[in-house]
Each structure stands twice: as structure tokens, then as C-alpha cells.
Amino acid sequence: MSIRLMKPAFLATAMILLLAACANETPQAAPTVSPSPTASATRPPSATPPPPTPTATPTPIQGTTRAQVNVRSGPGTGYASLGLIDPAQTVEIVSRDASGNWYLILYPSAPQGRGWVTAAFVQVEDATAIPLLAQSATPTPAGPTGVVQQKLNVRSGPGTSYDSLGMLAAGSVVVLTGKNAAASWLQIEYPAAPGGHGWVTATYVQVTGTANLPVLDEYGNPLPSGTPAGSPGPVFTPTPTVGPAPDNRDSAAQPAMQVSFSPSASRQFAYSHQLSTSQGDGQDWIEFTPYAAGGVSARLTISLTCSGNGTLAVELLQNGIPVPGWGTLQCGDRDRLLTLPAGGSYVFHLSAVGGGVQSLVAYTLTVSNEP
């Protein structure tokens, strides 16, 4: 009986003694357990891979635009226009096509950062220093094509009295889209035109054949299938409506055209515009540099065709001074022979003459450098 009463007391005493012993101990900070290092934390940073070696690119050659030029996706007017470059702008030329008539330039706004411009409108110190581009790198336009043999006007219709839409350099590749009934004019793709098409004379375009081209009227509409192709047919030649001539913004310091003749490129050019009095554009300046094969004197032939209710006065200048012995050139003159010292630049200055009344004259000046 006594044993049962003493067991709880003994346990209580033991518990009191144990708590007292714990109160006299100094608390110890709990040990901090550091996480085991992982492979990703101890792995040294990997080395940055070197940048890819850029493909070697020829150092661009600088040139200066002689006039406003179209930048195209390929070396020819049949290619899409990527934009325009104003006169007197510096361009960086990367290469040239096999004919030497088109330059590939750096053009950041193009999809590939490059575009093509007509060589005739770009001044460079040494064109032979421009490397040739491999033929395989040149895109090929779709559809039948032709090659322009000399500098040509692109017109709004099949005739010299239609408005000029621009110029084509010799060697330009054009996409053919039709012909007139006489097959004397060819319709081509010309993105700069309002409808995307223009007309060029077939005389100076080398083509393999025009038999399969559609026959079109002066407005570009297909003619009936029975219309004979290649046979003589009417060509619409409108008379310009009297009014102010559009201003092409040329001057003696900045001619409307600058052409350097050479045996391997341009041997002829034809420039068309309108001049008027007493309102509108009344003067034009056209600059050219003749060449002479094996001699010091260049032989040229000059033609001037006009339509309208006025006439033109034409001066030939060098360094702003009339050339001695020039004489006159009148509307209707054809193949007038002219001999000039080669190598220098000359300027035709054309002025409208209306006799004190409002007049408008549409003209085409053609200059050929004989071989």
C-alpha cells in the first residue's frame, strides 16, 4: 500500500530537478545548415561564341548622280522601282552589270539593302575600277524582253508627239507587253508611268520576235484579233493643247540631261519636252560630251521635230559662250551635220518663241555621235 503512494511523489521530484538543471544552461544558437552546392551554381560561365566572320565585300566606289534617277530591283527598266535619288547626291557603287550600263549601289531602304541605277546618270572618276557582278546574281524578269540599243524616250503612247515619261539607257532590259498595229512601237512595263506601262520605238530595241505580242491601240487596249500585226496602221499623234508647259526644273547649272557619248555605251540620245510663252517653262538646257574614234574631232548629226503653235530658238554653248559657226537649228531640221572638238562638254539652250502670244511647243531633240 505504501509503495503505490510514493511513486507519484518521486516522479514529481525528478521532474522539478530536471527543469532546474535546464534553466541553468546557456542557450546555444541553432546550427545553420548550408545547402549543398549544385552543379549549376559551381559551373564556370561558358565562353561567348565569336561572331560569324562577315563575307568579304568590295569597298564601294563613290559616285554622284547627274540627274534624278530611279533605283530598281534589277539592271533594267523592266524591274520594279525601289525609290528615287535626287541630282547631285553621293551614291556608293558596289558593282556593275556586264554591259556597264547599270550600277549596283548601297540603298538601305531596299529589302536587300541594294539597288540598281542607270550608269549614264552617275558620275564616277574611273568606271573600270567598279567590279563586275556575276551574271547569276542578276534577277531575271518574267515575260518576253528586249534590249535597248541606244538611249530612248519612254512615251505615253505609240508616237513621238506623246508625252515623255522618262529615258532608257543603252543596254537596258525591258519587259514587252504589246505592240501597235504597225509593230513600229512596243509597249513595255514602266513602273514610273501612271498605269505602269510606256511605249518605245521598236527601231532601237533588239528582240527575238514580236509575233506573239498582243496588238494594242494608242490607249493600250487590245485590238480585234483580225487586226494584222506588222501592217501599216494609223498612229494617233495628238497636238498639244495650248497652255503653260510643265516645269522640268532645269537650269544652266543643272541641265535637264547630261550625256557622255562613248563607243561602248551611248551613241545617240533623244530628249523630249514642252516649252511655252508667256507662262510655263520657257527654256531647257541639254548637256552632252562627244567622243572621236581615233581623232580629235567628233562628227554629230542633229535633228529637231516640233509640234504646236510656236517655234524654238536653239543655241549651242560651251562654258556659257556661244560656239562660233553654230548658226541655227530650226524645227523640222533633220540630220544636220556638226563637227566639234571631242572631249569637251557642250550645252544646247532651247527657248520658246511665241511672238507675244501664249504658245506651246512640244519638241524632240535627237543627237547622234557618228563612229
Write the pLDDT tens digit of every residue in 8-37.
555 555 555 554 444 444 444 444 444 444
332, three cell numbers: 523640222
pLDDT in tens, 45-64: 333 344 434 444 568 999 99
Pick the CATH number of 257-369 from 2.60.120.380, 3.40.50.300, 3.30.365.10, 3.90.76.10: 2.60.120.380
Give me the CATH topology for the region 61-130: SH3 type barrels. (2.30.30)
pLDDT in tens, 301-332: 999 988 888 899 999 999 999 999 888 899 99
CA-CA distance, 64 to 178, in Å (whole number)? 35
Smallest Cα–Cα separation from 237: which of 183, 158, 133? 158
Assess contact for 358 and 242: CB atoms under 8 A.
yes
Assess contact for 257 and 287: CB atoms under 8 A.
yes
Tell me the β-bridge partners of 225: none
CA-CA distance, 179 to 202, in Å (whole number)? 9
CATH of domain 145-206: 2.30.30.40
Which residue's entry shows cell 529615258? 167
274, three cell numbers: 514642252
Helix ranges (DSSP H) in 38-119: 39-42
Tell me the β-bridge partners of 336: 302
Alpha carbon distances (Å) from 153 to 83, 133, 135, 170: 20, 27, 27, 11
CA-CA distance, 172 to 340, in Å (whole number)? 28
Q: How confident is the model at residue 370 (pLDDT cuts 50, 70, 90)?
A: confident
The mean per-residue pLDDT over the stretch 202-216 comes to: 78
Domain boundaries, the chain: 61-130, 145-206, 257-369
CA-CA distance, 175 to 188, in Å (whole number)? 5
Fold agreement (61-130, 257-369):
no
State whether residue 222 is helix, strand or coil.
strand
Higher pLDDT, 260 or 48: 260
The pLDDT value given to residue 38: 39
CA-CA distance, 259 to 288, in Å (whole number)? 5
The mean per-residue pLDDT over the stretch 191-218 comes to: 80
